[in-house]
Structure 1
Amino acid sequence: MENKVVITIVLYRTNFSQTPSYNLLKNYIVEKKSVYLLLYDNSDKAQDNELFDQENVCYIHDETNPGLAKAYNAGNRYLTEVKGDIMLLLDQDTLLDERYLEKLLCMSLDIAIGAYVPIVSSHGRQISPVFSDKYIGRQSELPTSGSYSKMIMSINSGTALPKETLKSIGMFNLDFPLDFLDHWLFWKIYQLHKKVCVLDYHLEHDLSVLDYRRVNSQRYESIIRAETLFYQKYDQDKLLVHRKHLFLRTIKQFLRVKNRKIWRRTFLEYRSLMKGK
C-alpha cells in the first residue's frame, strides 16, 4: 500500500504552470490518488489553473505574503485532513525527481527517522544537506546517503516529514516566517532525538541567497535578523562562533559586494552582539 504524500508548494509572483516540476506534478495529481497538493500562493493576485479543480488539490491565496511557516502549517493541517503519511516541502524553483517521489510513495517509514531528505545542488555544487553539529559555513562537511544521529541541516525544499514528526513538532515556528526556518526545523528534529535519513536522490534548486551580490538589502535584513534570533534563542552553543563569523563576513562583503548597505548591516549586527555579550 502506497504512502499518502502531501506536497506543499509556496508560490510567490510565479505562475504555477511555469514552475519546473509542473508537468510531473500534473501527471501525478491526475493519475495517483495517493498524491495530494497544497499550493499556498503569496502573490499579489490569485491565479487559476486546471489542476485547482482536482479533488486532491488545495489552493490558498494569501496576498499578505506571510512567508513559509504559515504556509507549511496550512500544509500540515491539510495532511491531517486527508490522513496523509508524509508532507513533502517543495520550492517553486526546485525540479522534483520522479524517482524521489516514487521512493517516498513506496518506502516503509521508520519511526526513528524524523525527516527524509535528498541531496540538493545549486549551480553545480551540493548545498544540502550539511552536518550542523558545528557552525555552518563553506567548509562544512557534507553527508552522503544514510541515516544519521548527528545534527544535520537540510534546506526546506525536498524535505519529507512523516506525520509522526509533524505531530511532535506541533507547528512550524512563526518566529521564522521565511529565513532560517530550515535551521530551526532540523534543530527541532535533533531535539526530538530523531534521525535524519539522506536518500540517494538528487534535486536541482536555484538558491540565490548563496551569493550576497544577488541579495537586496531588504532580503538581507530578513536573513540576518533570523540568523541572530536562531543562535540567540535556539542553537545557543554556536552564538560565539556566529559573532566571530559576522566580523569575518563584514570584511569579505566590504571587499566583494557592491551594495555597501550589506557589509554595513553585517557590521552593525556584529557590534550589537558585542555589546550584549
Structure 2
Amino acid sequence: MDQDLPVSAPARPATSPGSVPGDESARGRVHAVIVTYGREPERAAALPLLRDWLRGAAGAAAPPLAEVLVWDNSPTAECPAQQAGLVYRHDPSNGGTRAAYASAAARASACGADWVLFLDQDTEPPADFPERIGRALRDAAGRGVPPAALVPRVVHDARLVSPARITASGAVRPAPLPEAGTRGAGAPTAISSGALLRTDVLTAILPAPADFWLDYLDHWLFRSLHERGCTIAPIDCELRHSLSVASGEPLSPARFANVLRAERAFVGRPGPVTELAYRLRLAVRALRWSRRAPELSRLAWRAALGARP
C-alpha cells in the first residue's frame, strides 16, 4: 500500500493578496521531487542541499522552495527524517519516474508552485544550484514569454550528456540548446534530472504514455515541449549524474528490454528511411554486446528484426 507521510506545516500561498497570478515568475516558487529506488532516501545525493533550501539557507538569490517530495519506488519503505516542507511517498508497486512526476505536478499545482524540479537519487548538484536557478529564472523573466523548461549542463564521468538533440530514429547526441528562433537537426532534449518544467505546461502534457514509466520519459517530455513550440532556457551550471545507459557496463536483461520497448514506442512507426536507420542502430548495439553480454545482444537482434524484446 502507498505510504504518504506529509509534514504538519501547510503550504504557503502562491501569491500575496492582491497580486496578479504569475507576477512572482521572476522568483518562481519551486516544488522539487527526488526519486529513489534501492537506496535509503536519506542517502540521495541532492537531499542535504534540498533540506538546506527548505530551511532558507540556500542563498539570497534562490527562489522559494515550496515543498520537497521524496518518491521512493523501493520494495521496502525507508522514511527519511521529517522536516517542515518534506513529504515522503512510498510506492512499492514501482510506478517509476512516470508516477513520481505525475504526483509532483499535482502537488506543485496544489501548493501554488510555478516550477517542478526533477532530481534522481544519484544526481549531484553544486552547492549554489538554487541560486543559479534563481538567476536563470530572472534572466528568463526578462525575455517576455517565459520558457517552458530550464536545464543545466549534465555530465557523466566528465562527459557532457545533456542537453542534447534526439533524432526521429531515437539517436541522442549531446548538443547545446538552440538559440532562440533557430532550429537544428533533431529536437532539443535533456536529462530530466536537474531540469525544471513550468507547472502549468507539465500539467498540460501529462499523463505520459505507460511505455515511458521509466525509460525515455525525459525525451518524451522534451519532445512534447518541442511539438508545442515551447522554448527551453539554460541554467548556467553543471551537475554530475550517473547515467546507467552511458556507463558502458551491461544493464540487466530486464532493464535493457524495457529500454528497447520504450525506445520503440518513442520512435513509433516512421517512414522507411528512419525505420532503417533505427534498425541499423539496433544491429550495431547487438554486435557491440555479442561477446560481453550475449543475452543483451539477442534482445537487440530481436528488436532489430522487428520482434518485441
Q: Same-fold call, TM > 0.5?
A: yes
Relative distance call for 1:239 and 1:158 in structure 2 (3 A) is farther
Report the CA distance between 1:189 and its aligned residue.
Answer: 0.5
Percentage of identical aligned residues: 25
Q: 2:86 aligns with which of 42, 57, 64?
A: 57
Q: Deviations over 1:215-255 (max 9, x none)?
A: 1111101101111111016899843321121122222222x
1:100 counterpart (129, 134, 138):
129
The count of aligned residue pairs is: 269
Moved more, 235-244 or 75-84: 235-244
1:262 aligned to which of 296, 301, 306: 296
Show CA shifts across 1:194-233 (max 9, x none).
1121222100001121145331111101101111111016
> Residue type matched to 2:212 in 1?
F
Q: Structure 1 stretch 162-171 or stretch 180-189: which is displaced more? A: 162-171
Question: What are the ranges of 5 or more consecutive residues in structure 1 without an aligned counterpart?
Answer: none
Asked whether 1:18 is paired with 2:43, we answer yes
Rounded to whole Å, the distance in 1 between the matches of 2:181 and 2:96 is 29
Match of 2:261 in 1: 225
What per-residue deviation string (whole Å, max 9, x for no partner) do you get for residues 108-145 of structure 1?
A: 3453522110000001100111122465547x351168
Q: Distance in 2 between matches of 1:230 and 1:248?
A: 19
Checking the alignment, whether the CA contact within 8 Å between 2:177 and 2:232 is kept in structure 1 is: no
Q: 1:179 to 1:17 in 2, by over 3 A?
A: same
For residues 236 and 7 of structure 1, what CA distance do their matches in structure 2 show? 42
Cα offsets for 1:45-79 (capped at 9, x unmatched)? 112222x341x222111111111101100000010
Decide whether the 8 Å contact of 1:148 with 1:196 is kept in 2.
Answer: no
Which of these residues, 148, 151, 155, is aligned with residue 117 of structure 1?
Answer: 151
Deviation above 6 Å: which 4+ runs of structure 1? 234-237
Q: Aligned partners of 2:176 and 2:267: how far apart in 1?
A: 23
Q: Give SS of 2:283's match.
A: helix
1:11 and 1:210 mapped to 2: Cα distance? 19
1:38 matched to 2:72 = no
User: SS state of the match for residue 3, structure 1?
Assistant: coil
Which amino acid letter does the alignment assign opposite residue 23 of structure 1?
P
SS at match of 1:31: coil
Q: How does 1:113-262 map to 2 (within 5 A)?
A: 113-133=147-167, 135=169, 137=171, 140-143=173-176, 147=180, 150=183, 151-211=187-247, 213-232=249-268, 238-254=274-290, 257-262=291-296
Residues 3 and 85, structure 1, Cα contact 8 Å, conserved in 2: yes
Decide which structure has greater helix share.
1
Cα RMSD of the aligned pairs, angstroms, is 2.6
1:146 CA drift (Å): 5.5
TM-score (norm 1): 0.87
